[in-house]
């Protein structure tokens, strides 16, 4: 059996921990930010927030956030 490497694609979902690391805010504030992004995009409470949606809301460049998430 040949050895194969697992290729990990760029993530499309952003979590509160990521928002904490990107913005330097507390966990509670990061959760509130994600809640606002969901509300802005008409999503439910348990829906995932994509990196693109977060970047549009926060006014950040998606490429810089994707680099940060690697």
Please check whether residue 52 lies inside any domain of the structure.
yes
Please check whether residue 3 lies inside any domain of the structure.
no
Q: How confident is the model at residue 10 (pLDDT cuts 50, 70, 90)?
A: confident
Please check whether residue 5 lies inside any domain of the structure.
no
For the segment 35-44, what is each residue's pLDDT rounded down to a tens digit? 999 999 999 9
Flag whether pLDDT at 1 surpasses 60: no
For the segment 17-36, what is each residue's pLDDT rounded down to a tens digit? 999 999 999 999 999 999 99
Please check whether residue 1 lies inside any domain of the structure.
no
Q: Can you give the pTM of this predicted structure?
A: 0.82
Please check whether residue 60 lies inside any domain of the structure.
yes
Q: How many domains does the chain have?
A: 1
Give start and end residues of each alpha helix (H) in the chain: 16-23, 27-40, 51-58, 62-69
Please check whether residue 4 lies inside any domain of the structure.
no
Structural domain harbouring 23: 13-69
Please check whether residue 2 lies inside any domain of the structure.
no
pLDDT value for 69:
86
């Amino acid at each position: 059996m040949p050895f194969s490497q697992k290729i990990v694609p760029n993530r499309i979902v952003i979590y509160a921990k990521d928002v904490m690391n990107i913005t330097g805010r507390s966990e509670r504030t990061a959760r509130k930010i994600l809640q606002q992004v969901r509300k802005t995009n008409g999503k439910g409470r348990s829906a995932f927030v994509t990196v693109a949606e977060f970047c549009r809301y926060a006014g950040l460049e998606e490429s810089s956030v994707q680099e940060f998430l690697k």
